[in-house]
Amino acid sequence: MRRLLPTLIVLSLGLLTLLWGLASLQGIFVAERDEAQARVEAERGALQEYARRTLEQLLEGELHPAEDAIGRALDDPLAGTSDLLLVVDGHQRFPRPVSFEAGGNTPARALYLALRGDADVAVRDDGSPWSERLQLHRELRAAVRGGGHGAIERAFRNLLRHRTRYVIDSELDLPSMIAALDELFDRAAPNLELMGLLLRGGVRDGGILVVEGLQPALLRRRDRFTEGDFRFLAERVLALSERAGTEVEDFRARIGEPLSTPLRMPVALDAPSLVLGGQWYARGDAYGAVVGTAVDLSALMAVIDEQMRGRALIAPDDELDMPELTADIVPIASLPIRVSSPRFAAGILQADDNYRIKSAFLVGSFGLALVAVVLATVLASRKQKFVELKNDFVATVSHELRTPLASMRLMAETLERRTAGLAAARDYPTRLVREIDDLNFLVENILSFNRLDKGRWRPRHERVDLHVLVDDVARELEQWSSKRVTVRQHGLERAVLRADPELLRLLLRNLGKNACSYCNRETVELDVEGGVTRRGLRRVYRVSVRDNGVGIPRREHRRIFADFYRVGGGQRSRGSGLGLAICRKTMAAHGGSIRILESSAAGTTFALEFPADLMEA
């Protein structure tokens, strides 16, 4: 199965590429569907935006006269405000909240009756403006009952002058003024024009209001009186107004307004909005206040529907509506106006149908590709059987080569001993032994690689003394190499691993022979150092092997452990390119790894990192 892995990877990549292409095509189909639906939604959105803008214009058209009415109502308490909205500094001004002073007492009524009945009125401070007002009221009453026209005029003028000069609590001022006017109407013939001003329009001096009319004054200060006092005073003002021939209908409407509580109006608005479920249209003004007017959304939507049908913007079977607004504030820019039409639904359905047909074609194409991958996998599996036979043949041949190589080495050693000292023989026997060792090592590498590659070599976990193992490999290198070899150990005196000794020996021999082959110095130096360290979050036992060879270019660091790969350029030696691949497979078989720590012209350091649990304490 491992041999089939590259083929499976290639087929998988091809399948993924096809899948990517089909996915891209699917994306195009999705984009086409979305574009078709977007065109439908764009048409619907354009109609809805037209309706929204038209509604905004109609609402603004209703707000403009309301703003003028708000300006007039600010100065005139008699103006109706039930359809007007004004919130200033977080306080509702319009519609005017209708409320009274709590309690059932009627002190204003009692004061009126006392003044009309010549009863004494208690005064806390004899020198206060209220005490002076009572004195002027008594003088007026005396003039009306016994004096002439001139005395009445002087007394009444003094009373009005005092009222313009001093501000007295409304609970005292208004009942006393109403009592004074009643006194005039009952016992004298007052100037009706002046009475009309005092009751409604107020008295002005050079355009400046100096005495407010009783009708607006009572309405403006309604919350200062209990309900009983207000109703009593309002009835007296109505009676006086009718006797003076002054308009009373708006005053009658204002005093008849029921008690109310402030609306849940917004303190501020960022944009023109419908508030309180669409009952009001409002927006902020330049001074931070909220102004608005009551609106009838149903009637306005009917006007827009008629206008759009008259311009043929919507068909007879199209519907224009706006759902019930539940939020307290709905900006005009986000009003949920809807335009529903059968042609819109048909367009969206057609786009979906086209998308489903094209998607079915893509699914069928992927199914055919999947069948082709399965067939290719079956063919590759059959081919792999022939590869296995070839590998078995290589293993057999490599094994059979060992026997004649061993015999040749024995005979070369014998020849070396018998020709020792003969000048004619020179170093031929030694070189013959070395070449045979090279060939034997090459065959051993090929056989070991084949076993590791096919997974037939299962590591035998035995007790391995690294110090002894490194000494043995050092002696082999000294006999094999034509150069002087120096091996130094650090920290390996008591290092014992549970590992396969044959695989570790092969690993160290490959590293050592590579160091000898790629060294341009007279002496090959190897430093082997061991110790426990950390790699990320794991504890590992690291064996560092440093040589003094020519170094390995950085661009080759990742590729040098590949099968049959040899570094290009520079110094080269005879070999199969399997040495470092065997090292990698050996470390992987033990659950560890091999990597290059550093490499330069001064040498290369390899790090062999074993799992810490392989080390004996």
CA distances to 98, 473, 497, 565, 575 from 548, rounded to whole Å, are 102, 17, 27, 21, 20
Mean pLDDT of 348-369: 87
Given this model, what pLDDT does residue 448 score? Answer: 58
**616 CB-near residues (< 8 Å, 6+ apart):** 463, 496, 497, 498
| 590 has a pLDDT exceeding 90 | no
At 143, the amino acid letter reads A
Task: Give per-residue pLDDT as tens, 301-324.
Answer: 999 999 999 999 888 889 999 888
Measured distance CA(171)–CA(229) in Å, rounded: 9
- pLDDT band of 172, cuts 50, 70, 90: very high
Given this model, what pLDDT does residue 413 score? Answer: 72
What CATH class is the domain 461-614? Answer: alpha beta
Q: Regarding predicted confidence, which is higher, 576 or 53?
A: 53
Measured distance CA(544)–CA(599) in Å, rounded: 13
Decide: 305 and 327 in contact? Cβ < 8 Å: no
* pLDDT, mean over the chain: 85
Measured distance CA(80)–CA(308) in Å, rounded: 35
Mean pLDDT of 518-542: 90
Burial (0-12, 13-18, 19+ Cβ within 10 Å), 137 = buried
Q: Regarding predicted confidence, which is higher, 433 or 160?
A: 160
Given this model, what pLDDT does residue 305 score? Answer: 93
Q: Regarding predicted confidence, which is higher, 452 or 499?
A: 499
Given this model, what pLDDT does residue 285 score? Answer: 86
pTM, two decimals, is 0.51
Q: Regarding predicted confidence, which is higher, 344 or 546?
A: 546
Measured distance CA(388)–CA(243) in Å, rounded: 127
**Cα three-residue angle 318-323-329, rounded to 5 degrees:** 140
Given this model, what pLDDT does residue 452 score? Answer: 60
Task: Give per-residue pLDDT as tens, 255-293.
Answer: 998 888 778 777 788 899 999 888 999 998 888 899 999
3-class state of residue 356 by DSSP: helix
Mean pLDDT of 344-369: 87
At 505, the amino acid letter reads R
Task: Give per-residue pLDDT as tens, 12-30.
Answer: 888 888 888 888 888 898 9
Given this model, what pLDDT does residue 392 score? Answer: 55
- pLDDT band of 343, cuts 50, 70, 90: confident
Counting other chains too, the contacts that 134-139 makes at CB distance below 8 Å and 24 or more residues apart are: 134/176, 136/162, 137/176, 137/179, 137/180
- 103 conformational bin, left if phi > 0, alpha if psi -120 to 50, beta if neither: left
3-class state of residue 165 by DSSP: helix
Mean pLDDT of 127-138: 91
Given this model, what pLDDT does residue 437 score? Answer: 61
Comparing 120-129, 176-185, 466-475, the range with the smallest average pLDDT is 120-129
Comparing 126-135, 179-188, 452-461, the range with the smallest average pLDDT is 452-461
Q: Is the peptide bond before 95 cis (omega within 30 degrees of 0)?
A: yes
| 385 has a pLDDT exceeding 70 | no
Task: Give per-residue pLDDT as tens, 59-112.
Answer: 999 999 999 999 899 888 999 898 999 999 888 888 988 889 988 899 999 999
Given this model, what pLDDT does residue 393 score? Answer: 45
Measured distance CA(442)–CA(575) in Å, rounded: 7
How is the beta sheet containing 91-94 ordered, strand by strand?
91-94, 84-88, 290-294, 280-284, 273-275, 329-331
End-to-end CA distance of the chain: give it in Å, rounded.
Answer: 38
**Cα three-residue angle 425-429-432, rounded to 5 degrees:** 135
3-class state of residue 524 by DSSP: strand
Residues of the chain above pLDDT 70, percent: 86
What secondary structure letter does DSSP report for 198? Answer: I
CA nearest to 62, candidates 299, 261, 394: 299
Q: Regarding predicted confidence, which is higher, 378 or 176?
A: 176
